[in-house]
Structure 1
Amino acid sequence: MLAAIAAAIALVVARFIRARNMQLWLPDYVRRRPRPQHAGPTHVMFCFVDHYEPMHGRPDLEVQRARVDRWCREYRALADRHRDADGRRPQHGFFYPEEEYLKEHLAKLEALCRDGYGELEVHLHHDNDTEANFRESITRFKQLLHERHGALPRHPDTGEIMFGFIHGNWCLDNSRPDRRWCGLDNELILLRELGCYADFTMPSAPSDTQTSTINSIYYATDDPLRPKSHDRGVRVRAGGTPSGDLLLVQGPVGLNWRDRRHGFVPRVENADIRANYPPTPARVDGWVETGIHVEGRPEWIFIKIHTHGAPEKEAEVVLGPAVDAMFSHLEQHYNDGERHVLHYVNAREVFNIVKAAEAGHGGDPNHYRDFILPPPPNRSAPGTARAAS
């Protein structure tokens, strides 16, 4: 009887794991090591990236306008209620889809970013693509964002327009088993050549595009003859050197034992803020405990969460009381100046601070927000943006 019960439980657990594609990442989760001890406070870099799609669901133009207008109005009010240790508001990363470009939408978001509430970056949905079309699409879009909307920085040494990237449908480097919603096995190489400074797509759990590497900041090397080359890579290390084609910045993944269904089944934490999984103090605590960091710099941790914030149902959460309470919890529990110091950062600043850690720098990460890549043209010059905030 006991053997039969054990077998039934094992079958239920196996089905639970398979239904959520947890077999992809559970081994890395089980092997996780605790974050090393360190002297002084833990600096918490909090980054909120948004697959910002005003045309989601193919609504008419008036609905699209209402979505963007609501964001430009309500996000200002929300962010103005909060400050980090440096006096900055929460920063929102608007990863806007190339295929949804409409000048009037971007003009409104441009104004929001110019006033210090975030930055625009590149998002793309594509299917069965070709290298030539991908190069043309990304090049055209990044130039449009930079020249027409003052977004995206230029590299100070090369003058190249640089961008952060999120792949639509989570399918970076052709990673879906059926090869849909991408088509390019050499996408990591192409992104590097086109000026991508880092990818912010992961995590994608419970999607089958999820990587086996989790809770990491790492370099992936592309195999142009195989998909999903970012499944594994080399973790960024303080005092190290770049080792791959593309830098990937992941958000937290794991089992949320604080939020259990039926009293014993943990929810899967995937860094996604949505209507059916809003942020809670317990989730925030779990993100901090995950402690994603550059190896050798454990006192700097990075929390990158994501959302699809434009549609009405999701906007109710991202612009509403739950996210307001999330920011308050961060400020009340992770910004005492002794145990924790809170920094609201955008994607570009995450890259800069990661690269500063890699170069061997320590201390206050606020000094490295513009370490390599400066603010885009539609933001104030380095230093004045923080003062104005």
Structure 2
Amino acid sequence: MAILALIVLVLVLTGIAAVAYAIRARNMQTWLWGYLTRRRPRAAGGPIHVMFCFVDHFEPAWGKVDLSTQRARVDRWCADYRRLADRHRDADGRPPQHTFFYPEEEYLDEHLTKLAALCAEGYGEIEIHLHHDNDTPDNFRTTIDRFNRLLHERHGALPVDPETGQLRFGFIHGNWSLDNSRADGRWCGINNELILLRELGCYADFTLPSAPSDTQTSTSNAIYYATDDPHRCKSHDKGVPVRVGGNASGDLMIVQGPLGLNWRERRMGIVPRIENSDVRKACPPTPVRVDAWVDTGIHVEGRPEWVFIKVHTHGTQERDMDTLLGDAAHVMHDHLEQAYNDGDRYVLHYVTSREMYNIIKAAEAGETGNPDAWRDYSLPPPPNRSS
């Protein structure tokens, strides 16, 4: 009996060690406890409005390919996305919206001209993406300011703040390394990046979640304001939740996508997958995942009946294009429109990142009713797109 008990003890300890190793290997220790202990208030009465936003780290030159390959990638998106989106509509009669976060370091006029034409037809908007390493504040300012003006003046992208006249933009950081958040210090170099982004006109950051990267914050499944400490990295690890009746607090709004554990689509039927809002061939947007995104219930505190879903991809990688532009994407949109757009329990709204931000600000200000009315609440559409 004693030997049996010892064997059981060894097996239990081995299992615990294996779980601990798996958690560490995926950097889950950063966010898992907060995820497991998070309490989400449920909406009481009336329909739940679902704001669905698809953001894309859109990198035509990914893999350092030649110009003909870049052109083929952009051309496929401009052709196939029209066909995809034209088959779908939300409660407001609008097609799915795709926000192209375009990398400054890959700028090519002809690519942006094609994307701008797609967006002008009502299929999405263009925002800013940046990969940099060992950067300086002065160079960062110059780079972002120049790219802002180029996108706006040449391609009609980015809104103008009606109160200040400043160009405003959404941001996704390359390599997930917002505010110098990698443990090894690579792919950024700036500890006051949140301050710089605010000063340059960034309305919100859409980088997260970044799990299993070590850049993932301990805060998850949240919309919050982060305050920069210019003397340390990863200042956005925690912040002040955006709430109804609150005021902007800190340097930058952080809009996170769903993060958690997917127990229904386990690896080998045993190990739960990390649900990190990433959409690609290896992790297609199945109805099970869509249900999990909605159930996560990311919202402005005090307004749980407005749910914000932000998912992301790297859209120009050939291995993933059939998923993003083909049957798997249709399955995702069909499920959204059938399960979350009955007008009674759920109402679906396809939004760009700018529109999502505007609806968040409307919720913060205490606005009610149909969120569709608040798509342009704070920031108007960019010049190449009508309201």
Which category of TM-score, normalised to the shorter sequence, fits these structures? Answer: over 0.9
Give the match for residue 114 of structure 1: 120
| Contact kept? 1:218, 1:247, Cα under 8 Å | yes
Amino acid in structure 2 at the alignment position of 1:126: H
Distance in structure 2 (CA, Å) of the matches to 1:261 and 1:352: 38
- Structure 1 segment 110-259 matched on structure 2, within 5 A: 110-259=116-265
State how 1:303-342 maps to structure 2 within 5 Å: 303-342=309-348
Equivalent runs, 1:21-36 vs 2, <5 Å: 21-36=27-42
CA contact (8 A) 1:153 1:162 kept: yes
After superposition, give the CA deviation of every residue in 1:7-49 in whole Å (9 maximum; x if it has no partner). 0110110111111111010011011103333210000000000
CA drift of 1:262 comes to 2.3
Partners of 1:109 and 1:37 lie apart in 2 by 38
Alpha-carbon distance in 2 for matches of 1:330, 1:312: 25
C-alpha distance in structure 1 between counterparts of 2:152 and 2:385, whole Å? 12
User: Per-residue CA shift, 1:213-233, capped at 9, x if unaligned?
Assistant: 000000000000000000000
TM-score by length of 2: 0.98
2:98 corresponds to 1:92: yes
Given that residues 135 and 194 in structure 1 are in contact (C-alpha distance below 8 angstroms), is that contact kept between their aligned partners in structure 2? yes
**2:67 is matched with which residue?**
61
- For 2:4, the equivalent position in structure 1 comes to none
Contact 1:122 1:163 in 2 (8 A): yes
- 262-271 vs 32-41, which moves further: 32-41
> Which of 280, 288, 306 is matched with 2:286 structurally?
280
Partner of 1:4: 10
Write the distance in 2 (CA, Å) between the matches of 1:157 and 1:6: 62
State the Cα distance separating 1:169 from its structure 2 match.
0.2
Q: Partner of 1:45 in structure 2?
A: 51
What letter matches 1:124 in structure 2? L
Match of 1:386 in 2: none
1-structure distance, mates of 2:360, 2:283 = 29
Structure 1 range deviating more: 30-39 or 19-28: 30-39
Map of 1:76 onto structure 2: 82
Letter in 1 for 2:381: P
User: Is contact 1:75–1:319 with CA below 8 Å preserved after alignment?
Assistant: yes
- Once residues 141 and 275 of structure 1 are traced to their aligned partners in structure 2, the CA distance between those partners, rounded to angstroms, is 31
Report the TM-score, using the length of structure 1 for normalisation.
0.97
Partner of 2:367: 361
Matched letter for residue 72 of structure 1: C
Which residue number corresponds to residue 300 of structure 1?
306
Counterpart in 2 of 1:350? 356
**1:216·1:293 contact (CA, 8 Å) conserved in 2?**
yes
Amino acid at match of 1:213: T
| SS of the residue 1:240 aligns to | coil
How many Å separate the matches in 2 of 1:93 and 1:80? 16
Amino acid at match of 1:370: D
Unaligned runs of 5+ in 1: 383-389
- 1:198·1:249 contact (CA, 8 Å) conserved in 2? yes
Q: Which one-letter code corresponds to 1:86 in the other structure?
A: D
Residue 108 of structure 2 is aligned to residue 102 of structure 1: yes
Task: For 2:247 and 2:153, locate their aligned partners in 1 and report how far apart those are by CA, in whole Å.
Answer: 32
Contact 1:218 1:236 survives alignment (8 Å):
yes
**Residues 91-135 of structure 1: per-residue CA shift (max 9 Å, x gap):** 000000000000000000000000000000000000000011000
The CA distance in 2 between the partners of 1:37 and 1:249, in whole Å, is 20
Deviation, 1:320, is 1.3
- Distance in 2 (alpha carbons) for counterparts of 1:341 and 1:51: 27
1:263, CA displacement in angstroms?
A: 1.9
Equivalent residues of 1:297, 1:362 under 8 A apart: no
Instruction: Provide structure 2 residue ranges, at least 5 long, that are not aligned to the other structure.
Output: 1-6
Partners of 1:61 and 1:39 in 2: CA distance: 54
Cα distance in 1 for partners of 2:41, 2:309 equals 14
Q: How far off its partner does 1:264 sit?
A: 2.2
Q: RMSD in angstroms over aligned alpha carbons?
A: 0.6
* Corresponding residue SS for 1:115: helix
Instruction: Give the AA of the match of 1:146.
Output: H
State the shift of 1:363 in Å: 1.4
- Say yes or no: does 1:373 pair with 2:376: no
User: How far apart in 2 are the matches of 1:361 and 1:218?
Assistant: 18
For 1:220 and 1:38, locate their aligned partners in 2 and report how far apart those are by CA, in whole Å. 29
